[in-house]
Amino acid sequence: MNTELMEALNILEQEKNISKETLLEAIEQSLLQACKNHFGKADNVKVNINPETCDFSVYAEKEVVEEVEDPVLQISLEEAKMRDPKYEVGDIVNVEIKSREFGRIATQNAKNVILQKIREEERKVLYNQYYEKEHDVVTGIVQRYVGRNVSINLGKVDALLTENEMVKGESFRPNERIKLYVLEVKDTPKGPKILVSRTHPELVKRLFESEVSEVREGIIEIKSIAREAGSRTKIAVWSNDPDVDAVGACVGLNGIRVNSIVDELRGEKIDIINWNDNPALLIENALSPAKVISVMADPDEKTAKVIVPDYQLSLAIGKEGQNARLAARLTGYKIDIKSETQAREAGDFDYYEEEYEEYPEDGYDEGEYAGENYEDGEYPEEGYGEDSGYPEDGYEESGEEQPLE
């Protein structure tokens, strides 16, 4: 038994995660290469390696001839009979080759073959390991800034966080641990090249999967995500179990679940709403925390007209149009928002006979909401979805009930 070789292979297998079979194959190739360098050719050389004991033998298959013309490929009948009297002309004799007799150059070349094979297999193992994490979230340690990009250590390899995939205004300290979304893993001669992102919407989805067990187990589905990285994200969730509140499960007790994700995203606001197959109800939920009077949705054209109370117009549109923009991305509809007064003036309100309760004049002012940011917990509980203070069919009117289109 070749104890030293077996121990070396076991160590390489554990540290480099390279199989013993692959390493034995590399040794076989290196011995063949050494024979080729030593004798000039190795077409008739065979290598036998016992995978259990790691014992190996190298021999050349030589043809028995009366007169030797090529000593690498042939052996004289006289010499063959000295090995075994039964050999005759035309027979094949296995002649053992002593690997220790190889010259320094042949030995060095054999060593290089083994090292090259180990490097190739190590690179392949790393690529496969991180390729499995493509489109998933990983934790990395900030190494250094490379120009405007950031080098992130993922353990055995470094990933590159480019400026385009960084949240605007976000900065990192050396050795800081951050979570990243793996965009792409490329196989290169120098090893796997990994591109990561902090802005991708899927980062938020994966964070919810890791934080909320119901999402991870498939009880709750994240149907849609709209994100403006560093500012606000809206996600629409659906529960496959009628006994599980989708929004409540994602928020967690006292907001503990959603707040941990907000902290990881460095204060990015997250709105969680209930998904609904009715586009009108979905759009109404998506415009939360704003209250909606009516939604007229056209599924064919993917457009919707939304009417909100006058005092809610700024809230529905959001700062620099952000709330309306995210709602449009979340639902896939082009949304036209008008105040009640604007709708009446445009004639869009003629289909309804409204008898709305009068809102207190001193209670709300359009300018009071303009430019405000709304974070989970900053506005009433209706911002989280179901317990919104208005019924499940979307809204209530004191006059004749009108269906949502």
How would DSSP label each residue in 255-276? GHHHHHHHHHTTS-EEEEEE--
In terms of domains, do 85 and 189 share one?
no
In terms of domains, do 90 and 163 share one?
no
> Rounded to the nearest 5°, which phi and psi values hold at 200?
-65, 135
The vertex-256 CA angle with 250 and 258, nearest 5°, equals 45
In terms of domains, do 191 and 204 share one?
no
Q: What is the pLDDT of residue 150?
A: 93
Q: Find, among 259, 395, 225, the residue nearest to 327 by Cα.
A: 225
**pLDDT tens digits, one per residue of 178-227:** 999 999 999 888 889 999 999 999 999 999 999 999 999 999 999 999 99
Beta bridge partners of 144: 151
In terms of domains, do 297 and 367 share one?
yes
In terms of domains, do 291 and 404 share one?
yes
Q: Tokens standing for 120?
A: 């190739």
Beta bridge partners of 45: 60
Please enumerate in sequence order all residues whose Cβ is within 8 A of that of 378, keeping only pairs 6 or more positions apart, or say none: none
In terms of domains, do 105 and 166 share one?
no
**pLDDT tens digits, one per residue of 300-323:** 999 999 999 999 999 999 999 999
In terms of domains, do 317 and 405 share one?
yes
* Amino acid at position 374, single letter: Y
Mean of all residue pLDDT scores within the chain? 80
pLDDT confidence band for 39 (50 / 70 / 90): low
Give the end-to-end CA distance of the chain in Å, rounded to a whole number.
Answer: 81
In terms of domains, do 108 and 123 share one?
yes
Q: What is the pLDDT of residue 19?
A: 79
Q: For residue 268, what is the domain's CATH number?
A: 3.30.300.20
Q: For residue 52, what is the domain's CATH number?
A: 3.30.1480.10
How would DSSP label each residue in 287-344? TTTS--SEEEEETTTTEEEEEE-GGGHHHHH-GGGHHHHHHHHHHT-EEEEEEHHHHH
In terms of domains, do 113 and 181 share one?
no
The domain boundary residue, chosen from 222, 257, 275: 275
Domain boundaries, position 338: 281-378+387-405
DSSP classification of residue 348: T
Beta bridge partners of 138: 180
Q: Within 10 A of 93 (CB to CB), how many other CB atoms are there?
A: 17
- Element (H or E) spanning 183, and its range? strand 177-188
pTM (two decimals): 0.66
Number of compact structural domains in the chain: 4
The domain boundary residue, chosen from 143, 166, 197: 197
In terms of domains, do 114 and 160 share one?
no
Q: What is the pLDDT of residue 12?
A: 75
Residue 214, classified by CB atoms within 10 Å of its CB into exposed (0-12), middle (13-18) or buried (19+), is: buried
In terms of domains, do 227 and 148 share one?
no
**Mean predicted confidence (pLDDT) in 87-112:** 74
The domain boundary residue, chosen from 160, 181, 197: 197
Helices and strands counted in the chain (H then E): 13, 15
Q: Which residue has the higher pLDDT, 256 or 42?
A: 256
In terms of domains, do 263 and 364 share one?
no
Torsion angle, CA of 175/176/180/184, rounded to 10 degrees?
-20
* Residue 376 pLDDT > 90: no
Q: Find, among 299, 274, 250, the residue nearest to 394 by Cα.
A: 274
* Residue 396 pLDDT > 70: no
Mark residue 100 as left, alpha or beta (left: phi above 0; alpha: psi -120 to 50; beta: remaining): alpha
* Strand order through the sheet with 232-239: 220-228, 232-239, 269-274
**pLDDT tens digits, one per residue of 252-261:** 999 999 999 9
